[in-house]
Amino acid sequence: MTESKLTLDGQQVEFTPGETLYELASRHGKTIPTLCYDPRLEPFGGCRLCAVELEGTKAPVASCTMRATPGMVVRTDSQSLDKLRRTLLEMVASENRELEVDPLRGYASQQLKELVDRYGARTGRFKGRTSGKSHADDNPFILRDYDLCISCYRCVRVCAEQEGDYAISIMNRGFETRITTEFEGKLKDSQCTFCGQCVQTCPTGALADRKALANAKIPGETRKTRTTCAYCGVGCSLDVLSRGDRIVGVHPAMDGPANEGALCIKGQFAFDFVHHPDRLKSPLVRGEDGELHEASWDEALDRAARGLGQVIEEHGRHSVYCIASGRTPSEACYLMGKFVRAGLGTSYIDNCSRA
């Protein structure tokens, strides 16, 4: 046996130093259940569903926090583990108002429900008080429906470890545990930047995307289209959720090379301009009457060209300054730069995303 080998479900496998049993098992195609695990976060060991049997220990060990060491003999599945996991899921199910939540609530919102169904834990056993307490918070982005919270603290940890905001934390103890901001205030009065990462990592939909939920009644199957966020130059990957020809929401791409599941407030929540009634769909030109009127593109472009030409003639080429919208794709921005530099002959060009 070489240094870095152990036995995983009867098979000799090699591990990388520092690898946890959960990571190792996942790499070998094992689907160990978990609710508090997010691969981007530090090992936590809270939900205990990922417990595996380790030869030589009295009780199962949490695979997400246990590092692989040479010679370990690990079982990721057994009748006894199955029963423990099912009972634990029955316990978790018993503390929540409901299991069925709209998938538009967030990327991970179906995880609890899926596990409960996988383990046949929808038995209604262990009835008792429910935990959590929803927090009235009138911000337009994040619904804080803590009646569905199972205290996995993925939100708190993603906020600290990924976003670096430390806007939310854990208050009280035990069954009275709550997710809170400083002094139990609203998110808008906290350090929260509304990046929405807490929403997308929440495994029960306790934190939900209000913008997406507003589209819950739009009929049709939800399609996902992978694209790149056009708001700035970082290049965050995201999946646009659509039904028919309507955009209903945005999920960050957990495998996005630039963002690993992170987005900012704009990439995450600012998609509703697409279908906004005030959105311009044709050019407007100002008429003799001083009002704006719909016009054809030729008409509008002629008017713009005339105006720009006139200004340059009267005041010189550096009297013009152009700014490109952050919402336009990179290609359009490139053309804009080209037009301004080569066409108008000035270097006065900028983009709103740069600020």
Partner 1 sequence: MALPDELPRPVETRDLIELFRHQPAPLLAVLHALHDRDGYLSDEVLGEVSKGLRIPLADLFGTVTFYHHFARKPGGKAAPRVCTGPVCCQHGALDLVQKLGATEMPCAGRCDQPVPVLAGDQVLDPHGQPLLSPLPVPNPGGCEECVFAHIREPGRSNLAGYGYEALQKALTMTSQQVLDLVSESGLAGRGGAGFPTGTKWKLVAQAQGYPKTVVCNADEGEPGCFKDRALLDHDPHAVLEGMLIAAHATGASRAFLYLRYEYPHTLRILERALEEARAAGLLGTCEIYLRRGAGAYICGEEGALLNSLEGRHPFPRYRPPFPVTHGFENLPTAVNNVETLASVPPILRNGAAWYRSLGRNGQAGTKLISLSGDIQKPGNYEVPLGLPLRTLLEEWAGGAPEGHTIRAVTMAGLSGGFLGGADLEVTLDEPSIRSRGSFLGAGGIIVFHDGRNMVEAARQAMEFFAHESCGKCFPCRIGTQRLVERLSGEAGPGEKERWVEEVEDLGHTMKALSACGLGMAAPLVTESLNRYFPEDVAAHVGRNA
- Residues near partner 1, by CB under 8 A: 35, 43-49, 51, 59-60, 62, 65-67, 84, 87-88, 91-92, 94-95, 125-129, 131, 150-151, 160, 166-177, 180-183, 190-191
Nearer to partner 1, 82 or 299 (CB): 82
CB of 43 to partner 1, least distance (A): 7
CB of 59 to partner 1, least distance (A): 5
Nearer to partner 1, 80 or 310 (CB): 80
Nearer to partner 1, 20 or 215 (CB): 20
Q: Do residues 84 and 62 touch, judged by C-beta distance below 8 A?
A: no
Give CA angle at 264 (190, 253), nearest 5°: 130
CB of 354 to partner 1, least distance (A): 30
CB of 152 to partner 1, least distance (A): 8
For the purposes of burial, counting CB atoms within 10 Å of the CB of 195, is it exposed (0-12), middle (13-18) or buried (19 or more)?
A: buried
For the purposes of burial, counting CB atoms within 10 Å of the CB of 160, is it exposed (0-12), middle (13-18) or buried (19 or more)?
A: middle
End-to-end Cα spacing for the chain: 58
Residue 255: helix, strand or coil by DSSP?
A: coil
Q: Do residues 83 and 177 touch, judged by C-beta distance below 8 A?
A: no
Q: Which of 107, 108, 100, 142 is nearest to 241 (CA)?
A: 107
CB of 106 to partner 1, least distance (A): 20
| CA 299 centroid distance within chain | 43
Nearer to partner 1, 155 or 212 (CB): 155
CB of 64 to partner 1, least distance (A): 9
CB of 84 to partner 1, least distance (A): 5
Give CA angle at 104 (100, 107), nearest 5°: 95
Nearer to partner 1, 157 or 251 (CB): 157
Nearer to partner 1, 48 or 210 (CB): 48
Nearer to partner 1, 76 or 131 (CB): 131
Give the helix/strand (H/E) hosting 169: strand 169-171
Q: Do residues 62 and 85 touch, judged by C-beta distance below 8 A?
A: no
Q: Which of 105, 64, 83 is nearest to 203 (CA)?
A: 105
